Amino acid sequence: MSRYDVAVIGGGMVGAAVALGFAKQGRQVVVIEGQAPLTYSPDQSMDIRVSAISEHSVEILSKLGAWHHVSDMRVCPYRRLETWEHPDCRTRFHSDELNMERLGYIVENRLIQLGLWAEFEKYPNLTIRCPETLSQIEFDTVSKVTLASGDSFEADLVVGADGANSKVRALAGIGVTAWDYRQHCMLINVETELPQQDITWQQFNPSGPRSFLPLCGHQGSLVWYDSPKRIKQLCGMSKEQLRQEVMAHFPAELGEVKVLQFGSFPLTRRHAQTYFKQGCVLVGDSAHTINPLAGQGVNLGFKDVEALLEATEGKEVLSIELLKTYERKRRPDNMLMQTGMDFFYKGFSNDLAPLKFMRNAALKVAEKSGPIKTQVLKYALGLK
């Protein structure tokens, strides 16, 4: 029976990053993934699923050797960020405040995955099993992993990078603290009358925020949060009907648009009650999901990868003590970001006049807060 130091279940962005990191450490690694990412072509339409990648995440991807593959495809840098409810009460952030060239990039998730997979080829100690899925794990001193195909192998450490509904987490008996936000999120790719932009913005509404993320060329990604009923109604519309709804409910900053494609998903929050158990460790969405309000989900996942690789670097045995070190570093940070996003989400999700006044006043004060504002931006970008 084959034996590996590390078995990574899930070859998405975070799973591919952690697999690559362990391979760079010289360990024998196997990645189990159900579907390979579609290859890139410049004439392809932009994907619906994109992420706001922080400069810190770019640094992590660069150390893994993957970022140049991603940037050679297509990325959209952004330098400015604005958030507001009332148009006269805005908080603005600019890369110049941090003496940075940019705040980050808007990148299609698939292209990040492709960039990481391109680096796999350099490591003969890294095996990909795709298409393949996890069936069972038998826990002992060494875990026996059985796949849907019936094949099995042994692994010293199993990494759960298989998303919010992680099978690794369930098989390891790790519970979650979870709740439903009772909202859905709609993603809408649009062609914009305005040229290439360097700003991402978000306007709060009682029914949920509406956001804009710049894409390459005359394109953008709109994010519309609303009740499940309202999002279902919007998803049932023609592109022209949806365009009219967008023009009626998004701020004037958007300008004229043409709807290209759209999709939706429910919002839930989950946090694993422990990040490791029975020879398994969780990273990314398997360990925590967050309200996508600030696009921080994948950045938190990459910080998980960084912490796990730092804890295990130079260590021959992947011991429980190393996994404890990883959890001690990541749980408080993930919890803080989850709580912060929930504070914003709940604080802006009602129409009570006194609260509305207070939160708009807070945004206006935040705009003039100087060092505090800069520190908040640094934290959000992973630069603390």
Domain ranges in the chain are 3-77+105-178+269-346, 181-267
Q: Can you tell me the distance from the alpha carbon of 133 to that of 24, in angstroms, rounded to the nearest whole number?
A: 24
Distances (CA, A) of 123 to 20, 130, 138, 247: 8, 17, 28, 49
pLDDT at 359: 41
The candidate with the shortest Cα–Cα distance to 77, out of 250, 199, 194, is 199
> What DSSP state is assigned to residue 156?
E
Helix extents (H) in 187-275: 228-235, 239-249
For the domain made up of 181-267, give the CATH fold.
D-Amino Acid Oxidase; Chain A, domain 2 (3.30.9)
User: What are phi and psi for residue 194, nearest 5 degrees?
Assistant: -70, 150
Q: What rounded mean pLDDT belongs to the chain?
A: 90
Q: Residue 4 is encoded by which pair of tokens? A: 């590996």
For helices 13-24 and 109-120, the axis angle rounded to 10 degrees is: 20
pLDDT, tens only, 144-197: 999 999 999 999 999 999 999 999 999 999 999 987 778 899 999 999 999 999
The answer to whether 277 and 173 have CB atoms below 8 angstroms apart is yes
Report how far apart the first and last C-alpha atoms of the chain are (Å, whole number): 45
The model's pLDDT over 298-343, given as tens digits with 9 standing for 90+, comes to 999 999 999 999 999 999 999 999 999 999 999 999 998 877 766 6
- Answer with the residue of higher pLDDT: 108 or 340: 108
Dist. CA 19–CA 282, nearest whole Å: 13
The CATH code for residues 3-77+105-178+269-346 is 3.50.50.60
What's the half-sphere exposure (Cβ side, CA atoms, 13 Å) at 14?
Answer: 28
Amino acid 26 reads: G
Average pLDDT value for residue range 205-231: 93
| Residue, of 166 and 346, whose pLDDT is higher | 166
pLDDT over 90 for what percent of the chain? 75
Indicate the pTM of the whole model.
0.91
Q: What does the alpha-carbon distance between residue 71 and residue 311 come to, in Å, rounded to a whole number?
A: 29
